[in-house]
Amino acid sequence: MKLFYTPEIAQDKTFTLSESESKHAIRVLRLKEKDTITLINGKGSFFDATISDANPKKCTVQITTIRTENKAKPYLHIAIAPTKNNDRTEWMIEKCTEIGINEITPTLCKHSERKKIKQERFEKTAISAMKQSLKASLPIVNELTNFNTVVNAAFKGKKYIAHCYKNKQQHFKDIYLKGENCMILIGPEGDFSEQEVELALKNGFVPITFGESRLRTETAGIFACTTFNLLNE
């Protein structure tokens, strides 16, 4: 099943693909009239469609069925320090999109070595991972945001901060309740500063650990996402 990401699609009976998607469908995949394709809107809906005009610049399709993604899962938002090496963050975004996540906020922390990100590239990574894993929901990938803004923002759900200071924090798997929306803060290689941890606790974040292994930032991101999805399976 080849998916086309068409965020602007409405509930109409016909739809015309963008020039680049039309070219991809007709010139690259050599699709023809009456061939079937599936469009996704990034918001959880699949639109099965039949090509009615195989125009390589504006391919038009007739929508035959609209399907929505299975069961509603609780919301997962991971706010995470971008890694020094961009590839590691991109790779984490790809993996989390495959496994299941709703929102990612690259977070600028006191010990962050990287102070700039390419949000557009991160978004492209998420789009291609969504298509590749046959999902119809695109995670929100936010712009780089200051730690203070992140911890002060409203969030409807439980909030956690994963840090490495020895405070006997509980394992995420033992404290998270199935079905809860959840936001998880993950720090840079040098960990959050003590002031950052304090500020998070004041704002209702609960300290957690992911076990005894010392994980890299991006590994902690995937570990958190996997655990959340397992507990909600």
Could you list the residues that contact its own copies (CB under 8 A)?
70, 91, 95, 98-100, 132-135, 171, 173, 211-216, 219, 222-223, 226-227, 229-230, 233
Q: Minimum Å distance from CB 133 to its own copies?
A: 5
Residue whose CB is less far from its own copies, 23 or 114 = 114
CB nearer to its own copies: pick between 13 and 168: 168
Q: Which is nearer to its own copies, 64 or 85 (CB)?
A: 85
Return the number of the residue (108 or 224) whose C-beta is nearest its own copies: 224
Q: Identify which of residues 135 and 163 has a Cβ nearer to its own copies in the complex.
A: 135
Identity (one letter) of the amino acid at 159?
A: K
**Shortest reach from residue 229's CB to its own copies, in Å:** 7
119-132 vs 86-99: helix crossing angle, rounded to 10 = 30
Concatenated DSSP letters of the chain: --EEE-TT--S-SEEE--HHHHHIIIIIS---TT-EEEEE-BBSEEEEEEEEE--SSS-EEEEEEEEE-SSPPPPEEEEEPPPSSHHHHHHHHHHHHHH--SEEEEEE-TT-S-----HHHHHHHHHHHHHHTT-SBPPEEPPPEEHHHHHHS--SSEEEEE--SSS-PEEHHHH--TT--EEEEE--TT---HHHHHHHHHTTPEEEE--SS---HHHHHHHHHHHHHHHT-
Partners of 208 in the β-ladder:
162, 170
What's the min distance (Å) between Cβ of 6 and its own copies?
20
User: Cα separations (Å) of 229 from 12, 15, 102, 113, 233?
Assistant: 33, 34, 11, 30, 6
d(CA 177, CA 200): 20
Shortest gap between Cβ of 87 and its own copies (angstroms)?
9
Closer by beta carbon to its own copies, 32 or else 216: 216
Residue closer to its own copies by CB (options 17, 186) is 186
Tell the smallest beta-carbon distance from residue 98 to its own copies (Å): 5
- Residue 153: CB minimum distance to its own copies, A: 28
- Least separation in angstroms between CB 177 and its own copies: 16
